[in-house]
Amino acid sequence: MSTPTTAQAAPARQMWPLYAAGFTTAFGAHSIAANLGGFSDDAVTSLMVLGGLLALYDGAEVLLKPVFGTLADRIGARPVLLGGLVAFAAASAVYALADSPGWLWAARLGQGAAASAFSPSASALVGRLNPAIKHGRAFGSYGFYKSIGYTLGPLLGGVLVWAGGLRLLFVVLAVLGAAVAAWAALAVPVVAPLPKVRQTVLDLARRLAHPAFLRPTAALAAATAALSVGVGFLPVSGRAAGLGTVATGAAVSVLAACAAVVQPRAGRALDAGHLTARGGITTGLLLTAAGLGCAMLPGLLGVLSGAALIGAGTGLITPLGFAALAASTPAERLGQTMGAAELGRELGDAGGPLLVAAVATLTALTYGYAALAVLLAIGPAVGLVRRVSGAR
């Protein structure tokens, strides 16, 4: 199998396993996180244990994604992708076959470590297999299928836990990981690592501190922070307004659906020249901030309008952010960049809810939304001031 030329995008048959890998990491993370404390005989009943299991997965990703991203540049992204998927299947099978609940800790740690390997590798391959003029479409499609995984995870995971407990969910994840690994082994071409100039720690620090990396990564972190806040806190706002579980669940579905629908369209607009990465990211940040502002309004209108705008804004930022990173990164360092960018997203995933929760504890939830909205709007506001000053 050969890689595409600089003028030709990768065939669809080579891309589908990468989209499936993106779906797997999103589905695996959210299906378990949403159902660890569910209604089954093997559910986690201790809040301390539940928090530890959730932190274990995220902690593994924060520590290991940059490591595996760098490894993908050194030995090739394909073997790291395949190894991560196989390890994910094996870690899932550990708990599915074990008799002791204590193995849940090992399985959860293994899943987090495995996702840290195949997630940035899949992103790097999306960039390597497609020319720069097709990056928007490629990353838009990749983000679309990750959004589908985030959407279906809590819903389908809940059905599986209801039908057969957590072990059935882990069985399905083991089969899914193994199936995607086999598919990728058959369809994803070998992409040889590129020769690179020796890089010191100072060189790495300079590259990661460059605005070409910091700006899109900060935008991706902000988008992930808002997405996590929307998923976690909009149902709280809905319940406070007297809405039932159906209405609050619909709000989260609206958020995920808007994010999924917008991503491929944003990518195509970027490739066609109808949208720039910088302009699209700025618009996405403002839309997301507006969504958080709408979430401050009482009742169903505030919850649904907030969900729609947060979903649309984050859906706009995600493919454009990754496309911008791929365009500004030497191909031989793409895995390292994607791993570091994924680390930024993980920090946003944790930091956004923590910020909103801290402010809400001291004041009220509406002020928590406002605090995050202000942070998201600062970047576009500073950029606008600089452009106006430069035009004088």
Dump pLDDT digits (tens) for 15-39.
Answer: 999 999 999 998 988 788 777 765 5
Contact 291, 309 (CB under 8 A): yes
d(CA 301, CA 316): 22
Contact 269, 295 (CB under 8 A): no
Q: What pLDDT sits at residue 2?
A: 39
Q: How much helix, strand and coil, in percent to the nearest 5, is found in the chain?
A: 85, 0, 15
Contact 18, 306 (CB under 8 A): no
Structure tokens at 110: 């293994």
User: For the chain, how many residues are written?
Assistant: 392
Q: What pLDDT sits at residue 310?
A: 95
d(CA 18, CA 187): 10
d(CA 67, CA 268): 31
* Torsion angles phi and psi, residue 184, rounded to 5: -65, -40
Q: Has this prediction a pTM greater than 0.85?
A: no
Q: What pLDDT sits at residue 297?
A: 92
Contact 119, 25 (CB under 8 A): yes
Contact 49, 101 (CB under 8 A): no
Q: What pLDDT sits at residue 195?
A: 63
The contacts of residue 86 (CB under 8 Å, 6+ apart) are: 177, 178, 181
Q: 182-191, 192-201, 287-296, 356-365: which has the minimum mean pLDDT? A: 192-201
d(CA 68, CA 81): 10
Angle, helices 135-187/299-328, rounded to nearest 10 degrees: 80
Q: pLDDT tens digit string along 86-116?
A: 999 999 999 888 867 778 888 989 999 999 9
> Residue 265's pLDDT band (boundaries 50, 70, 90)?
very high
Q: 6-20, 65-79, 137-151: which has the minimum mean pLDDT? A: 6-20
Q: pLDDT tens digit string along 288-318?
A: 999 999 999 988 889 999 999 999 999 999 9
